[in-house]
C-alpha cells in the first residue's frame, strides 16, 4: 500500500465523514497533522460553533507531544488559537497539515484558521478542495503570503463528495432520502434499526430545516417525527400527499412550534436548505430524481418481507460508508452516466 | 481519533483482509513497519508461495528510505531475506513492527520470519494473535531471546476474525456461502455482479477444494462453474440435491479432471478443507448452520425482484467489508448470541 499524500488525506476525509451533515450549516471538514511522516493528529469539525477541523487537529498534535500542557483543558476555539499562538515555539515547523477544505480566511463564530496557520508556520499545507464560499475563501493565498508551501487538489474528487451537501445547501437546498432496511432489503415487519441508529436519525432530525414524509406513512404509522431520543428540536414536517385529508388529532400535529405542510409540490421541499425525506421504496422510486443523497441504514439481518416496488431500477454510486453501532450507514448518489 | 498501537494494527488488519481466502492454504496476514511514529510500510501476504507479510513490509520499509536500492528488483523471498540481513545496517533499530499473526519460526516454502526479525532487530514487535499452528509457532519466544521487546494481544479479537478461516481449514473444513445481490436484496433478473466481481469469484473458485451448489440451480441455469475469467482451475463440484437425476450432457459434467458428486449429505461437504457454496436464499436458509462465513457481493443498484424465502430470519455480525470495483463485498458470520 502506498504511503503518500493520498494516504494521509484519506485519513482526514474518513474522519470528516463521521460528522457528515452533523456540522450543518458548516461543511464537514477533516484535518491531519503529520510530522516527518508521523501522524500526530487526525481530527474533524464536529458541530457548528465548535472548533474547526484545523484547530482540533493542531491542538491534538500539540498535546500528542505535550500531553500535560494546560491546552488539554481548553475547548473554546478563540482560547485554543490564543494558546497555540503564544506557546507553539516552532512546534509545527516540520509539520505538513492535510486539510480537506481550504482553511477559512474569515472570522465567524470561530477565528480564522488561515491566520492561525500563518502564525504557527507548518512547512506545508496540503488542501484537497478549494473553498467556493466567497466569504470564507482566500485562505490558500494568505498561507502563501506567509511563505508556507501550499498545494491544492490532492484527492479532490473524494473531497468534493464530502463537501457536496454543503455546496448544495449553500446554493439553496440539499435533500436526502433516508431509509432503514435489512441486508436483503426488507423494510416491513416492525422495528428494523438499533437504538443507536434511531438516536442517529433523531440527531439528524434535530438539524433539519424540513422533514418530508409520505402521506400513507402518516396515515398508517401515525409517527410523531420528533427528536426525543436526543432531546432535540422536532423539525417542521411536509406531508407529501395528493390527498390532503388527515386526522389532525395524531401526535405529529401537536408538537409546539412545528409547522406542518401538506403538499404534493416538490418545489415546496426545495424552499428549505436541509431536508430529509423518510420513506420506503415507493416514495424513493417516485422522488429519485429530486434527491441529492440516499442514506441507507442497514441492519445486519435477513428477514422475509417487502423489498421494492414494481419497476424499481436505480443505479447508484456508493459515496461513503460508516457504522452506527452494529448497523451500517451507506451514502448513495444516483448514477448519472453509465 | 487516537493514534496508538490499535491505529497501526488496524492498518495491518485491513491490508490483510484484501487477500482473505486468496492466501489459502496460508493464513491472511498483514504487517506494518513504523519508525518513530512514521508508517514506512503497510503490506500483506498475498498468495501461498510468495513472501510473507513481514517480508513484504520489511522490504517496502527499506525501499521507502532507500528507493534506489537493488532490493527493488528482488522478489524471491529467500533472496529478500538474504539482502536485508546483509544490508540493513541498523535500519530497523528504531522501528516497531506490527503483525497480525505471530511471525513464523519454521522454514517452509519461504524462510522463517522470526529468524529474519531476530537479525534485523527492530526495537519492538507487536503481535495481534499468537500462532496456534504447532509447526510454525514459537516465533515470539525466538524474538524475546534476541532481546526484541514483544507484546501479544493488540486487537486480538479483530485478528481472530481475520485468522478464522485459516483456523477452520487447519481443523479440517472451512465452508463459506457466496451470494450476489442488489442493494435491496434481489438476486433474480439476470446478471447482477460486475466483471470485476465475477473475476473475483473465479479467483476464489480456482483456490477451492470443493464448490457446492444446489440441484435446482444446476437444472435451471446449467452453469459451467469453472474459473475461465482468470484462466484458473475448475473446482470439484458437489451438487446438493435430494433428487439425484441430472442431465449429464450439461457442461459442468464435461470439465477434465473434475469430480462431480451428487449428494444431500452435508458431511460430504465437510470432508473438504476449503468449500464455497454458491446459491440463493433457499439454500442459504437451509444451510445457515453449517456455514462458517457468508460472503455477499452487493451491486450498487436497486431492482424489483426476489429477495428471500418465507421464514427467513437470520442475524449476522458484519466481520469485514471491501470493494471489488464498484461492487461491495461483505463478510458475515451468523450471530451466535443476542
Three-state secondary structure call for residue A89 = coil
Interface contact B337, partner A, CB < 8 A: no
Q: What is the distance, to the nearest Å, from the Cα of residue B172 to the centroid of all Cα atoms in its chain?
A: 16
Identify whether residues A125 and A212 lie together within a single domain: no
What H or E segment, with its residue span, contains residue A311?
none
Instruction: Supply the pLDDT for residue A136.
Output: 64
Q: Determine whether the interchain pair B312/A304 forms a contact, defined as Cβ–Cβ distance below 8 Å.
A: yes
Q: Which of A15, A43, A54, A102 is catalytic?
A: A54
Residues of B with catalytic roles: 54
Instruction: Supply the pLDDT for residue A135.
Output: 67
- What are A53-70's pLDDT values in tens digits? 999 999 999 999 999 999
Interface contact A303, partner B, CB < 8 A: yes
Number of CB pairs < 8 Å for A and B? 134
- Minimal C-alpha gap between B335 and chain A (Å): 9
Interface contact A3, partner B, CB < 8 A: yes
Identify whether residues A122 and A25 lie together within a single domain: yes
Identify whether residues B225 and B243 lie together within a single domain: yes
Which residues numbered 220-279 in A keep a CB inside 8 Å of some CB on B? none
Q: Determine whether the interchain pair B314/A301 forms a contact, defined as Cβ–Cβ distance below 8 Å.
A: yes
Instruction: Supply the pLDDT for residue B138.
Output: 87
Which residues numbered 113-172 in A keep a CB inside 8 Å of some CB on B? none
Of the ranges B112-126, B186-200, B248-262, B271-285, which one carries the lowest mean pLDDT score?
B186-200
pLDDT higher than threshold 90 for residue B134: no
Is residue A130 flagged as an active site residue?
A: no
Domain boundary among B136, B169, B202: B169
- Looking at beta carbons, which residues of chain A come within 8 Å of B186? 185, 307-308
pLDDT confidence of B136, banded at 50, 70, 90? low
Identify whether residues B37 and B141 lie together within a single domain: yes
pLDDT higher than threshold 60 for residue B338: no
pLDDT confidence of A219, banded at 50, 70, 90? very high
Report how far apart, in Å, the C-alpha atoms of B32 and of each of A106, B29, B39, B58, B238 are.
41, 11, 7, 8, 40
Phi and psi of B240, rounded to 5°?
A: -85, 105
Instruction: Supply the pLDDT for residue B265.
Output: 95
- CATH code, A84: 3.40.140.10
Identify whether residues B236 and B325 lie together within a single domain: yes
* Domains of chain A: total: 2
Q: Which three cell numbers stand for residue B25?
A: 492454504
Interface contact A336, partner B, CB < 8 A: no
Q: Determine whether the interchain pair A300/B318 forms a contact, defined as Cβ–Cβ distance below 8 Å.
A: yes
Domain boundary among B134, B152, B169: B169
- What are A20-32's pLDDT values in tens digits? 999 999 999 999 9
Q: Determine whether the interchain pair B316/A309 forms a contact, defined as Cβ–Cβ distance below 8 Å.
A: no
Average pLDDT, chain A: 94
pLDDT higher than threshold 80 for residue A191: no
- Looking at beta carbons, which residues of chain A come within 8 Å of B42? 1, 3
Identify whether residues A100 and A135 lie together within a single domain: yes
Q: Give the CB-side neighbour count of residue B265, counting CA atoms within 13 A.
A: 6
**What are the residues facing B323 on neighbouring strands?**
B328
- CATH code, B325: 3.40.430.10
Closest Cβ–Cβ partner in A1, A184, A314 for B43? A1
Identify whether residues A153 and A203 lie together within a single domain: no
Identify whether residues B205 and B181 lie together within a single domain: yes
Interface contact B185, partner A, CB < 8 A: yes
- Looking at beta carbons, which residues of chain B come within 8 Å of A305? 308
Average pLDDT, chain B: 94
Burial of A263 (0-12, 13-18, 19+ CB in 10 A): middle
C-alpha–C-alpha distance, residues B171 and A64, integer Å? 45
- Looking at beta carbons, which residues of chain A come within 8 Å of B3? 39-42, 64
Identify whether residues A198 and A99 lie together within a single domain: no
**Which residue range(s) make up the domain with A88?**
5-169
Q: What is the DSSP string of A124-170?
A: EEEEEE----TTT--HHHHHHHTT-EEEE-TTHHHHHHHHHHHHHHH
Q: Determine whether the interchain pair B311/A332 forms a contact, defined as Cβ–Cβ distance below 8 Å.
A: no
Rg (CA), chain B: 22
Q: Determine whether the interchain pair B184/A300 forms a contact, defined as Cβ–Cβ distance below 8 Å.
A: no
Identify whether residues B186 and B319 lie together within a single domain: yes
- What are B178-234's pLDDT values in tens digits? 999 999 999 986 678 889 999 999 999 999 999 999 999 999 999 999 999 999 999
pLDDT higher than threshold 90 for residue B71: yes
Identify whether residues A143 and A209 lie together within a single domain: no
Identify whether residues B146 and B180 lie together within a single domain: no
Domain boundary among A169, A186, A203: A169
| Average pLDDT of the residues in A230-252 | 95
| Average pLDDT of the residues in B143-167 | 97
Instruction: Supply the pLDDT for residue A336.
Output: 80
Amino acid at each position: 500500500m502506498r504511503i503518500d499524500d493520498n494516504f494521509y488525506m484519506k485519513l482526514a476525509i474518513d474522519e470528516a465523514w463521521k460528522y457528515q451533515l452533523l456540522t450543518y450549516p458548516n461543511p464537514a471538514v477533516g484535518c491531519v497533522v503529520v510530522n516527518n511522516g508521523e501522524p500526530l493528529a487526525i481530527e474533524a469539525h464536529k458541530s457548528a460553533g465548535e472548533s474547526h477541523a484545523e484547530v482540533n487537529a493542531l491542538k491534538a498534535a500539540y498535546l500528542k507531544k505535550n500531553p500535560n500542557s494546560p491546552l488539554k483543558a481548553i475547548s473554546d476555539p478563540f482560547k485554543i488559537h490564543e494558546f497555540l499562538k503564544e506557546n507553539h515555539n516552532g512546534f509545527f515547523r516540520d509539520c505538513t497539515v492535510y486539510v480537506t477544505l481550504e482553511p477559512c480566511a474569515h472570522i465567524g463564530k470561530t477565528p480564522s484558521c488561515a491566520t492561525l496557520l500563518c502564525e504557527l508556520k507548518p512547512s506545508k499545507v496540503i488542501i484537497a478542495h478549494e473553498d467556493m464560499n466567497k466569504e470564507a475563501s482566500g485562505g490558500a493565498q494568505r498561507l502563501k503570503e506567509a511563505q508556507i508551501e501550499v498545494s491544492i487538489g490532492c484527492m479532490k474528487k473524494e473531497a468534493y463528495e464530502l463537501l457536496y451537501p454543503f455546496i448544495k445547501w449553500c446554493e439553496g437546498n440539499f435533500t436526502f432520502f433516508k431509509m432503514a432496511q435489512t441486508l436483503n432489503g426488507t423494510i416491513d415487519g416492525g422495528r428494523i434499526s438499533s437504538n443507536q441508529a434511531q438516536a442517529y436519525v433523531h440527531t439528524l432530525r434535530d438539524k433539519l430545516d424540513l422533514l418530508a414524509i409520505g402521506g400513507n406513512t402518516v396515515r398508517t404509522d401515525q409517527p410523531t417525527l420528533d427528536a426525543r431520543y436526543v432531546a432535540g428540536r422536532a423539525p417542521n414536517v411536509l406531508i407529501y400527499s395528493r390527498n390532503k385529508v388527515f386526522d389532525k388529532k395524531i401526535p405529529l400535529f401537536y408538537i409546539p412550534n412545528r409547522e406542518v405542510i401538506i403538499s404534493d409540490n416538490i418545489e415546496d421541499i426545495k424552499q428549505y436548505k436541509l431536508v430529509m425525506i423518510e420513506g420506503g421504496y415507493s416514495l424513493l422510486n417516485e422522488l429519485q430524481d429530486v434527491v441529492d443523497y440516499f442514506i441507507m441504514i442497514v441492519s445486519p439481518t435477513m428477514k422475509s418481507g417487502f423489498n421494492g416496488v414494481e419497476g424499481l431500477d436505480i443505479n447508484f454510486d456508493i459515496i461513503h460508508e460508516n457504522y452506527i453501532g452494529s448497523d451500517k450507514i451507506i451514502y448513495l448518489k444516483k448514477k448519472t452516466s453509465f
